[in-house]
Amino acid sequence: MASGTPQNPRLAVLLMMVATAFIAATMLLAKALGSDVAGPALHPLQITHGRFVFAFVTLGVAAAVLRPHIARPDWRLHLARTTFGWAGVTLMFASVAYIPLTDATAITFLNPVFAMMLAIPLLGERVGRIRWSAAAMALAGAMVLLRPTPDSFQAASLLALTAAAVMGMELIFIKKLSGHEPAFQILLINNFLGLVLSSLAVLSVWQMPTGQQWLLLAALGGMMAMAQTCFVNAMARADASFIAPFSYGTLLFATAYDLLFYGHIPDTISVLGASVILAGGILLAIREARIQPTAANRTH
């Protein structure tokens, strides 16, 4: 939690819900861009490129106004974080072109679970029974959503699952950065490096977007920047144990968008799998938030 920021739980909830609405909207736009809704389908690498281009433009304008002090960034950590983040977002955007937004969103919510497991060998953290139980619940929900039977298995779901694992690794580097650098600096550098990386990766698959696709790409990048800003400010205005579970509102918005724009109604398997993942994820979020103050007290 940012020191010196006035606490306002109601505003925090509002900011978090706005962030989740924006995040779900970016996945909806990625689905449209990855299909033939607004022209020939764009490659996921090009959608990710557009996300970083316009997000950096949005944050760059904010930086020009705010003129933040850039305090000795750890470029190696930033590059590692951005590389995993870029790969995870690309895989996520690829998955939503083939499977419902609800399923893709629910599966990618496994990233805190993967981060928890990766923190054991990479950060030397100890994991207790409650955290393992939460992880097991979330993974069980993912297995339900993967529909592991010959007749119903969706191979594209593996893209979302891989995205969750990769973004779990990204969380490890975010955790290392967040204790040493200001939040806005982390966002600005992340989107700058993401712009450079995605610009190199998109060269082999680039195609000229239609006018409508340019608008969708601009909206996607702008919404992602706004989502990141709202998320950071929400976390600064309330205890993590209170506000973190509201981040799962993304799934509600994704379900609503899927129904409104594609007429997709989640089936029983989707509802069951998503519910189990949510239960495990919320339990893990609350547990993580409660142990952080204890860990902090031990180091002061």
Tens of pLDDT, residues 25-65: 999 999 999 988 888 999 999 999 999 999 999 999 999 99
Distance CA 117, CA 162 (A): 15
Tokens found for residue 112: 């805190």
pLDDT reported for residue 163? 93
Q: Is 131 contained in some domain? A: no
pLDDT digits 0-9 by tens, 12-34: 889 989 999 999 999 999 999 99
Q: Is 271 contained in some domain? A: no
pLDDT reported for residue 76? 94
pLDDT digits 0-9 by tens, 85-108: 999 999 999 999 888 888 888 888
Q: Is 177 contained in some domain? A: yes
Q: Where are the alpha helices (DSSP H) in 34-128?
A: 44-66, 75-96, 101-108, 111-123
Distance CA 123, CA 288 (A): 15
Q: What percent of the chain has pLDDT over 70?
A: 89
Name, in order, each residue with C-beta under 8 angstroms of 167's C-beta and a sequence gap of 6 or more: 84, 85, 88, 89, 92, 108, 111, 114
pLDDT band at residue 289 using 50, 70 and 90 as cut-offs: low
Q: Is 121 contained in some domain? A: no
pLDDT reported for residue 148? 64
pLDDT digits 0-9 by tens, 108-118: 878 878 887 88
pLDDT digits 0-9 by tens, 211-230: 999 999 999 999 999 998 88
pLDDT band at residue 265 using 50, 70 and 90 as cut-offs: confident
Task: Report the domain count for the chain.
Answer: 1
Q: Is 88 contained in some domain? A: yes
Would you say residue 78 has pLDDT above 90? Answer: yes
Provide the domain limits for residue 35: 9-108+156-266
Q: Is 244 contained in some domain? A: yes
pLDDT reported for residue 4? 53
Name, in order, each residue with C-beta under 8 angstroms of 118's C-beta and a sequence gap of 6 or more: 168, 169, 172
pLDDT digits 0-9 by tens, 192-216: 999 999 999 999 999 999 999 999 9
